[in-house]
Amino acid sequence: MRHSRAAEAPRSLTNENGAQITMAEHVVVIGAGVYGAAVAASLTRRGARVTVVDAGAPGGGTSGATFSWTNSCGKQPQAYHDLSVAAMEAHRRLAEAISGSDWYHEGGNLEWADGHAGQEQLRRKVAGVLDYGYDARWLGRADVLRMEPDIEPAELTAEEFAYFPREGWIEPTRLIGRLLSTAVSGGTEVVRDDAVIGLTVTAGTVRAVRLASGRTLPVDAVVNCAGPQAAAIAGLAGLALPMRNTRGVLVYTSPVAVSVAHVIHAPHVHLRPDGAGRLLLHTHEIDDAAYESEDGEIAVPEAAVEKVLEAGRALYPGIRAATVESVRVGERPIPGDGLPVLGRVVELPNFHFAVSHSGATLSVHAGDLVAAEALGEDHEDALAPFRFERLAAAKEER
């Protein structure tokens, strides 16, 4: 996808406080996942000239292999919770604003636990989100069976079931497609299959982005939305971004004639609908089973996949005939302290981050905040808890 437009002189805008700000003439967004697409769409809407660059295809990385549960269920500290709640609302607004939106599904989330310790942990989580004013409630067994009539009743062994009605899931690749389509129609260029191999930095400013193809992109600002590769991109700018990425393994079934209307977090399996009658299944145990094969590929043992499918069949007997249509392994980008890294860098003020776990939840809202700041708007109140500098400070304290 490419749209050419003549270079323009930097333009002035009036921000929400009535102050004049100077817009960046050209912004390069590195990464075309949910964050990159959201940042690009927001920048384009604000009138910036944008180039999105990805080493692969849009949505072909972590964003295409995620459970994509939209929530703020137990996130700490409160600033992270509040950011996630605002992000959930941003998804609703976007879906309502676009006719034919097909990526957002707010069906609610059902969760229960086995054993005393698990139940106590769930009670503490519910109590915590209720203290924040989050929508959560307790249901009985009969309530769950009315909501999910194809569940096996014998699997509902808990005394109480947590229900979070405003939670749901998104279809990330559909969302990415919509956001990038909107951006391209506004003049954004999308460069795929061309990795960033260098950044030209002089006098505390990023001047250019260098690509594997040999192309050099002069820039006024850069936004690092590279997900699992965010630390490598930061390193090109001389910044040390600590990350503790983890693998996430997802099992996709063949289409099944079973009614599943909610995100389900049961004791032995997590699942949700995935369109066209398919189900998406996950457990933490299968994440741990993924390994690097001799040829350097990430593999998952068939026995581990079958165990997840069997857990799904036990919970929904109607999927006994289901087969595994695909298994996807994603690399979750998790900053060192688990919290998002968002916004500009003090020592390199035209370099910006939009990196986090929970990207499916946060991307539309947090991406908009980062884009706005890249163009000179003041969102310090929202972004202050998530600055890059906190990680450097924590490292120095150790």
**How would you write the pLDDT of the chain (398 residues) with one tens digit per residue?**
433 333 343 444 444 445 444 456 899 999 999 999 999 999 999 999 999 999 999 999 999 899 999 999 999 999 999 999 999 999 999 999 988 888 999 999 999 999 999 999 999 999 999 999 999 999 999 999 999 999 999 999 999 999 999 999 999 999 999 999 999 999 999 999 999 999 999 999 999 999 999 999 999 999 999 999 999 999 999 999 999 999 999 999 999 999 999 999 999 999 999 989 999 999 999 999 999 998 888 999 999 999 999 999 999 999 999 999 999 999 999 999 999 999 999 999 999 999 999 999 999 999 999 999 999 999 999 999 999 999 977 665 65
Other beta carbons less than 10 A from residue 26's beta carbon: 18
Domains of the chain from N-terminus onward = 22-64+172-242+337-397 (3.50.50.60), 108-165+245-332 (3.30.9.10)
Q: Please, which residues have CB within 8 angstroms of residue 295's CB and are 6 or more apart in sequence?
A: none
What is the spatial distance between Cα 2 and Cα 24, in angstroms, rounded to a whole number?
20
Residue 13: its pLDDT value, please?
44
Rounded to whole angstroms, how far apart are CA atoms 39 and 364?
8
Contact 32, 180 (CB under 8 A): yes
Q: What is residue 7's predicted lDDT score, i.e. its pLDDT?
A: 36
Residue whose pair of structure tokens reads 């060192």 in the numeric block: 336
CA gap 257, 78 in Å, rounded: 40
**Residue 77: cis peptide before it, omega within 30 degrees of 0:** yes
Dihedral of the alpha carbons of 79, 83, 85, 89, in degrees to the nearest 10: 160
Say what the pLDDT of residue 200 is. 98
Strands, sheet with 324-332, edge to edge from the N-terminal-most edge strand: 137-139, 161-164, 109-111, 263-265, 270-273, 279-282, 246-253, 324-332
Which residue type does 101 have?
S
pTM for this prediction:
0.92
In the prediction, which pLDDT does 392 show? 78
The one-letter amino acid at 386: F
